[in-house]
A and B are shown apart, each in its own frame.
Chain A
Amino acid sequence: MTKSYASGFQALKLVNLDINKGEIFALLGPNGAGKTTLINIICGIVTMSSGSVIADGHDIVRNYRAARSMIGLVPQELSTDAFETVWATVSFSRGLFGRAPNSNFIEGLLRDLSLLDKRNSRIMTLSGGMKRRVMIAKALSHEPQILFLDEPTAGVDVELRRDMWNLVRGLREKGVTIILTTHYIEEAEEMADRIGVINKGTLMLVEDKKELMKQLGKKQLTLHLQTPLTQIPGELAPFNLELKNGGADLVHTVESASSVDISAMLQRLSDLSIVIKDLQTHQSSLEDIFVKLVSERT
């Protein structure tokens, strides 16, 4: 699909994406990348300029009733009614999505979200974190099989974030497909099965998380030396070493695929009487990968 807004701004430049049933897909990207635009198109809030979207076999435009019935959305912005009670607003959502009332289900949902004791409170009396949970309850009220979470943990405290992660995992176990956007790389790293990176309206990468970590994840071993070296001795040539920090640090980079015998390397160092004062390892995180991707390709 593509999307140009009325202003002429092209928010999505030919995005092509498949989501697997039952997976957690994390969409990462800097501010203004087009994440919300993508989600809003799929959910029917924004009209696309060209292209098509199929949700579980249903075209989201031609067969919007079937498609939307199975989709739930927690939008990025916190927008709720003010005067309604929690119970009323969640029941409203269930009805709106065409489901018959089921107070047992809603009660269970509110319990899972620790909102049961607030069921009769007006929404305006709730805290921001509680409102966010109300919005999640609304999105889940019609038992959707596909759930979109647009920055679910923005401005949420650590505890609630953990709760949310657990909730998402629980939903996945029930077979719900989850697409979430986030700025917290650790969140994607922790939760997602697959990761997509979008920047300036272009999907730059879609990859299995483990594959991604393996392919791009670099491991580095830094050896802090007792006495700085001016150059790497020839005996150490096979070990992919670099001198850093004015010769005080010897850095060994492990490309994920290769397997270098670290003990042999340390043995060789000791043979050369190079004394190691301290050592440190670093494995590049998704964050490094992300920063690299977004800065490299723009």
Chain B
Amino acid sequence: MSNAAPARFNRHGVWAIYRFEMARALRTLVQSLVTPVITTSLYFVVFGAAIGSRLTTASGISYGAFIVPGLIMLALFTESLSNASFGIYFPKFTGTIYELLSAPVSYVEIVIAYVGAAASKSIGLGLIILATAALFVPIKILHPGWMIAFLVMTASTFSLFGFIIGIWAKGFEQLQFIPMLIITPLTFLGGAFYSIDMLPPAWRAFSLFNPIVYLISGFRWSFYGTADVSVAISLSMTIGFFAILLSLVAWIFKTGYRLKS
């Protein structure tokens, strides 16, 4: 048996984890596809047709079209969080994490693989929702490059967030805790289904403390060219959030927090 000197970047290792995580989704491919398509269609039936027909938006876009970016973002948040947190929590739960900890992979590689896989899945999902939505309402994308950029950045950020939650969580209920109690409410209050311009001034000012507002606003701007807040702020909020999470994950691996005893 012979071992060559190990490479500086363990690409085989990253690829192995990435493939493993993607295979997990492929095993439940039908579920992963059908569920979002049905959910999106339901949103359109309820919000787009039933309620939306009585609402108009300031920018002259139909309400149905207006909520598409918000819907995609909502799915992106929840799917990224649940995919990534489950991906790392499960090996901790079953004990198979021993192999990851004993493998010659750096924490950067581990993060790239897990977060990359979770982000890929939710980006795929976002695109499926977009395609489904296009069946119901006319959609235009003014800045496709920025649209993809926001999609990728948001998916990566929330996957990284989910990854951290997965490491932190000590039980399955804790996995659900942050998504259910924080992200979903913030998304609903963050202009997924309305423009914060529609709100009374006091609420409006209050909304500006909600980071989700910036993410949704930036994403919606890439579609229709109108935004609740400046696109530059949206962009820097996303990048800033990502940077904070990166340093958190660096600290986790440095100290072995909830990974090693």
Mark A residues whose CB is within 8 Å of B: 5-6, 40, 43-47, 64-71, 73, 75, 77, 79-84, 88, 91-101, 138, 143-145, 174-176
Excluding A80-B96, A95-B19, A98-B12, 19 further A-B contacts by CB distance (< 8 Å) are A45-B260, A47-B256, A65-B104, A69-B104, A71-B102, A73-B99, A77-B98, A79-B94, A81-B96, A84-B23, A93-B99, A96-B17, A96-B99, A98-B7, A98-B13, A98-B104, A101-B12, A138-B99, A145-B3
Q: Is the CB of B261 within 8 A of A68?
A: no
**CB-CB contacts of B241-261 with A at 8 A, as 1s and 0s?**
000000000000000100011
Q: Is the CB of A65 within 8 A of B106?
A: yes
- Once A45-B102, A96-B16 are accepted as A-B contacts, the answer to whether A143 and B3 lie under 8 Å apart by CB is yes
Q: Give chain A residues whose Cβ lies under 8 Å from the Cβ of B100.
A: 96
Q: Is the CB of B99 within 8 A of A174?
A: no
- A-B CB contacts (within 8 Å), total count: 102
Shortest CB distance A90–B (Å): 11
- Once A65-B104, A92-B20, A138-B99 are accepted as A-B contacts, the answer to whether A97 and B1 lie under 8 Å apart by CB is no
Q: Give chain B residues whose Cβ lies under 8 Å from the Cβ of A95.
A: 12-13, 15-16, 19
CA of A96 to CA of B96 in the docked complex: distance in angstroms? 13
Does B200 reach chain A (CB closer than 8 Å)? no
Contact of A69 among B6, B20, B23 (CB under 8 A): B6
Minimal Cβ-Cβ distance residue in A for B15: A95
- Once A46-B260, A88-B23, A92-B20 are accepted as A-B contacts, the answer to whether A68 and B102 lie under 8 Å apart by CB is yes
Shortest CB distance B101–A (Å): 5
Minimal Cβ-Cβ distance residue in B for A81: B96
22 contacts across the A-B interface (CB closer than 8 A): A5-B261, A47-B261, A65-B106, A68-B102, A68-B103, A70-B3, A73-B98, A77-B95, A79-B96, A84-B23, A92-B19, A95-B12, A95-B16, A95-B19, A96-B16, A96-B99, A97-B103, A138-B99, A143-B2, A144-B1, A175-B1, A176-B1
Taking each of A75, A77, A97, which has the highest tally of chain B beta carbons within 10 Å of its own beta carbon?
A: A97
Q: Is the CB of B6 within 8 A of A73?
A: no
Q: Give chain A residues whose Cβ lies under 8 Å from the Cβ of B54.
A: none
The 6 closest A-B pairs by CB, nearest first: A95-B16, A79-B95, A68-B104, A43-B102, A143-B1, A65-B104
Contact of A97 among B23, B94, B101, B104 (CB under 8 A): B104
Q: Give chain A residues whose Cβ lies under 8 Å from the Cβ of B16.
A: 91-96
Shortest CB distance B233–A (Å): 41
CA of A84 to CA of B21 in the docked complex: distance in angstroms? 11
Q: Give chain B residues whose Cβ lies under 8 Å from the Cβ of A47.
A: 256, 260-261
Determine the interface band of chain B, counting residues with CB < 8 A from chain A.
Answer: 20 to 34
Shortest CB distance A46–B (Å): 6
CA of A40 to CA of B260 in the docked complex: distance in angstroms? 10
Does B31 reach chain A (CB closer than 8 Å)? no
Mark B residues whose CB is within 8 Å of A: 1-3, 5-7, 10, 12-13, 15-17, 19-20, 23-24, 27, 94-96, 98-106, 256, 260-261
Q: Give chain B residues whose Cβ lies under 8 Å from the Cβ of A69.
A: 3, 6, 104
Minimal Cβ-Cβ distance residue in A for B100: A96
CA of A94 to CA of B95 in the docked complex: distance in angstroms? 19
CA of A75 to CA of B104 in the docked complex: distance in angstroms? 17
CA of A176 to CA of B2 in the docked complex: distance in angstroms? 10
CA of A75 to CA of B5 in the docked complex: distance in angstroms? 25
CA of A133 to CA of B6 in the docked complex: distance in angstroms? 27
Shortest CB distance B182–A (Å): 28
Q: Give chain B residues whose Cβ lies under 8 Å from the Cβ of A46.
A: 260-261
Minimal Cβ-Cβ distance residue in B for A93: B99
Q: Give chain A residues whose Cβ lies under 8 Å from the Cβ of B27.
A: 83
Q: Is the CB of B15 within 8 A of A44?
A: no
Q: Is the CB of A44 within 8 A of B102?
A: yes
Q: Is the CB of A6 within 8 A of B104?
A: no
- Once A45-B102, A47-B260, A73-B102 are accepted as A-B contacts, the answer to whether A99 and B12 lie under 8 Å apart by CB is yes
Q: Is the CB of B10 within 8 A of A65?
A: yes
CA of A84 to CA of B99 in the docked complex: distance in angstroms? 15
- Once A98-B13, A99-B12, A143-B1 are accepted as A-B contacts, the answer to whether A44 and B101 lie under 8 Å apart by CB is yes
CA of A93 to CA of B96 in the docked complex: distance in angstroms? 11
CA of A68 to CA of B102 in the docked complex: distance in angstroms? 7
Q: Give chain A residues whose Cβ lies under 8 Å from the Cβ of B99.
A: 73, 93, 96, 138
CA of A83 to CA of B2 in the docked complex: distance in angstroms? 31
CA of A145 to CA of B1 in the docked complex: distance in angstroms? 7
Minimal Cβ-Cβ distance residue in B for A63: B6
